[in-house]
Amino acid sequence: VITIEEYYRWQDKESYTQTGFNWNVGIKTYYRINEDSLEIGGNFSNTNFAKTPYFYDEVYYESYIYPGIVDDELYSYRDTSSLSDSNSTVSENYTSWNLGAKFVKSLEKAFFAMGIGVGQSKNFYIDTMNFDYRVDESYDNGDGIQDGTDFTYVETGTYSAEFTYNELSTHLYLPVGLEYNFWGPLVGRLGANTTLYWGSGYESERYLSYDPGTGTYTYGDGSVYEYLNETYSSRNDYEAQINYFDRYTDFSYGIGWQISKNVKIDLMGYSDLTSLTDWRISANVKF
C-alpha cells in the first residue's frame, strides 16, 4: 500500500470583552397640510469602545507523507503566534448620522407616500499587538538512517504590530409606498425602497518592532546549527485602500386590518404559504 498525504490548515482562536459607551440623539417634526402631511427628522449616534486586552492564537500547520526507501518520508511544519500579554489591546469608535423627510398625500380611498434619507457612518478600529511566535519543523527522508539530511528545527521570537481600519460610508434612501382601502377596515400596502451606498477608507498593518528569532537546526547525525533570523519575510508592512459603490431596491407588501379605532393588525411577508420564516405580524394599539 502506497500512502501519500498532504495536509495543511489555519486555526485561529481569540478572546476579548469590549466595554464602551453609546449615546444617541434624535429629533422629528410633523406638519399637517390639509389632508396631507410632511415629516422631517434626523439622528446622531456615537459608540466608543475603550482599549481592551486582546488575546489571540494563530496556528498554521502542514504535513506531508510520501513513500520512502525504507519507511515513509515525513515532513511537518507548525507556525504559532500568540498575543500573550495585557499590553495587546483593541479599541473601536463608531459614529453615524441620518437626515430624512417623508411626504404623505391623501387620495380618494388611498394614501401615497414618498421620502428621502441620507446619512453617513464612520468606523475606526485599531489593534496593538505584541506577539510571541514559535516555528517547529521536522524532516525524515525515510531511508531508515538518521543522517545529515534528517533534521528538526525550532525558532522562537517576538514582534509588535499595529493594525488600523478606517472607513467612511455614505447612503441614500429613496422610499415610496401606497396604501389602498379595499373595503371597510381592510387595506393593502405596496412599497419600494431604493438604496445607494458608497464609501472609502483603508486598512493597514505596521510592524513596530521585531526581535530576531533564534533558530536551531538539529540534524540526524548529531550536529547542531544555530542562527538569528533577522529578516522574517512574512512580517511586512502593508496598506490597502477601500472603495466601493452599490445600489439595490427592496419591495414590500402587506395587509392591514383596522379592528377598532384604537387597534390595528398588520400582516406582511406571507407570499410563501409553505414556510412561516418571513411572515411578520404586528399590532398597533393607541391609548
Helical H segments across the chain, by residue range:
none
Strand spans (E) along the chain: 5-15, 20-33, 36-53, 55-66, 73-83, 89-107, 110-140, 151-183, 186-219, 224-229, 238-258, 263-268, 280-285
Whether the pLDDT of residue 1 is over 50: the answer is: no
CA 263 to chain centre: 41
Q: Which residue has the higher pLDDT, 243 or 9?
A: 243
pLDDT at position 84 is 65
pLDDT at position 34 is 84
What mean pLDDT is predicted for residues 2-23? 75
Whether the pLDDT of residue 3 is over 60: the answer is: no
Tens digits of residue pLDDT in 63-114? 888 876 677 888 999 988 888 666 788 889 999 999 999 999 998 889 999 9
Lowest mean pLDDT segment, chosen from 80-89, 230-239, 253-262:
230-239
pLDDT at position 272 is 56
Q: Which residues of 169-183 are buried (b: 16+ CB within 10 A; e: fewer)?
A: bebebbbebbbebee
Q: Which residue has the higher pLDDT, 262 or 180?
A: 180
pLDDT range class, residue 227, cuts 50, 70, 90: confident
Secondary structure of residue 150 in the 3-state scheme: coil
Whether the pLDDT of residue 203 is over 60: the answer is: yes
Angstrom distance (rounded) from CA 80 to CA 12: 10
Whether the pLDDT of residue 191 is over 60: the answer is: yes
Whole-prediction pTM: 0.66
% of residues, the chain, pLDDT over 90: 37
Tens digits of residue pLDDT in 18-51? 788 889 999 999 898 888 999 999 999 999 988 8
* Cell triple for 111: 394614501
